[in-house]
Amino acid sequence: MAPPKIHKNFIHGEWVESVSGEAFENLNPANRQELVGLFPRSTAEDVNRAVESAREAQRSWRLFPAPKRGEILFRAARLLLERKETLAEQMTSEMGKVLDETRGDVQEAIDMTFYMAGEGRRQFGQTTPSELANKFAMTVRSPIGVCGLITPWNFPMAIPSWKIMPALICGNTVVIKPANDTPLSTYNLVSVLEEAGIPRGVVNLVTGYGRDVGVPITAHPDVRVVSFTGSTEVGREVSKACAPDFKHVCLEMGGKNAMIVLDDANLELAIEGAVWGAFGTTGQRCTATSRIAVHKDVYKQFTAILVERARALHVGNGLDRAVQMGPLINESQVQTVERYVEIGKNEGAKLLTGGQRLTGIAYDCGFFYAPTVFGDCDPKMRIAQEEIFGPVVSLIPVDSFDQALEVANGVVYGLSSAIYTRDVNKAFRAMRDLETGIVYVNAPTIGAETHLPFGGVKQTGNGHREAAVAALDFYSEWKSLYIDYSDRLQRAQIDNQ
């Protein structure tokens, strides 16, 4: 058996060891006996070196013409496209989700990189008439500086691309810390950027644990921008750490996303959406469908078919083309799901299917859990209020459209929501009244596209958005320019009376 590949940090354009000399294992969650690779267990000193490299590189990168930055990203996108299948297979090995989904993850990185490459020629400002004669006024975008990026394990290439590419196209430099469970995919993304010709120090990769790498990134005085995707609890700590220095902070955090199924819905379509929304990525998405409010007139029929479909899902190693749902990411996540299943039982919810760890020859070396459906849930139950991040969905019977809206809005999160109905009036009311950053009509709660803003309200985020042009607003500052060619003092409002 070949020895595992030993990976390094990427600092100042070079692949280097951590100063600690230590490493951590990246294991396949479908088979804990398979070591994907070894990665540096970095320290605050590694972070300091990376930030210093990024700070020095930003002096010249900010002056590099934005269209030329875009050309580098375009080359990177082409390389990602050429290597899509290999990158997807490696992602499945380290993260577990099925190949169709990891192909989609890589494709999202491709899409984002192509999109932001184009933004190199579209960082438009505004020109506007001055209120005074012989005076010109306009706005331009300006880069901010070093960006500290902290990313999760569930979309290990897509989400880093959401952060890296808009930061770079705006003229910033980056230091990125990927999740410990999935460093390889971010390593691959950074490797592609290096091959595409990104200048020395513009992109830096530091792997390690949150307390050793993530905390020093957020606290470093030369890091002017922090973008974090993860739990609300950790996001709150990130916000506190960045507040004293008034850093730009983008927080993408938890979700408890609801699907509404009305009595006039296309039931087969709604069930397909529920299965995909609840069990895609093994429920390990911030946009996963974890609650379904179903009108009482179709509740019994919907529930019976959904339970049947959940039981029929083929769970296993995501590299197997026949598998429909892969493992959970690690033992801790299995224990979290087990704990919430017990909470649901104790609260009086009806366990209709699943509710146990999968065992047997195909499962004993991995973190596999059965697709789980709870029925007759009260919307105030903890399993219907708190994020589980696993293949668990709660069905909530409702009497009316208005009650369904109350159920959907009755949580502290506000990321994504969906409604299935043929009534255009109710669809438009739902689009207006659902308290989420994303609303789907006759589609599940998952499936964002890169050219639209991504993010949520309430305790899901802090008001910023990722992807699309909205990302440029986070990674740049607006600068207003006034050019007076009157050759005399003009005092704005004082001389404009």
The residue from 147, 250, 286, 377 that is catalytic is 286
Instruction: Determine the average pLDDT of the residues in 438-462.
Output: 96
Q: How far, in Å, CA of 370 to CA of 312, rounded?
A: 10
pLDDT of residue 441: 98
The residue from 94, 119, 252, 387 that is catalytic is 252
Instruction: Determine the average pLDDT of the residues in 20-24.
Output: 97
Separation in Å, CA 274 to CA 64, 199, 271, 443: 47, 45, 5, 9
Alpha helices in 143-242 (DSSP H): 158-169, 183-196, 215-219, 232-242
Instruction: Determine the average pLDDT of the residues in 66-71.
Output: 98
Separation in Å, CA 406 to CA 223, 255, 418: 41, 16, 14
Active-site residue, 252 included: yes
pLDDT of residue 2: 58
CB atoms within 10 A of CB 133: 11
Predicted confidence band of residue 25 (pLDDT cuts 50, 70, 90): very high
Predicted confidence band of residue 492 (pLDDT cuts 50, 70, 90): confident
Predicted model pTM: 0.96
Separation in Å, CA 275 to CA 201, 272, 297, 477: 44, 5, 20, 42
> Could you give the dihedral angle defined by the CA atoms of residues 417, 420, 424 and 425, in that order, rounded to the nearest 10 degrees?
-60
Instruction: Determine the average pLDDT of the residues in 348-355.
Output: 98
Q: Note whether 204 and 176 are within 8 A (CB).
A: yes
pLDDT of 1 higher than 60:
no
In whole numbers, what is the pLDDT of the chain averaged over residues?
Answer: 97
Please, what are the domains in the chain?
Answer: 9-253+461-480 (3.40.605.10), 257-441 (3.40.309.10)
Predicted confidence band of residue 495 (pLDDT cuts 50, 70, 90): confident
Residue 247 has, within 13 A of its CA and on its CB side, a CA count of 28
pLDDT of residue 3: 59
pLDDT of residue 494: 85
pLDDT of 448 higher than 70:
yes
Active-site residue, 377 included: no
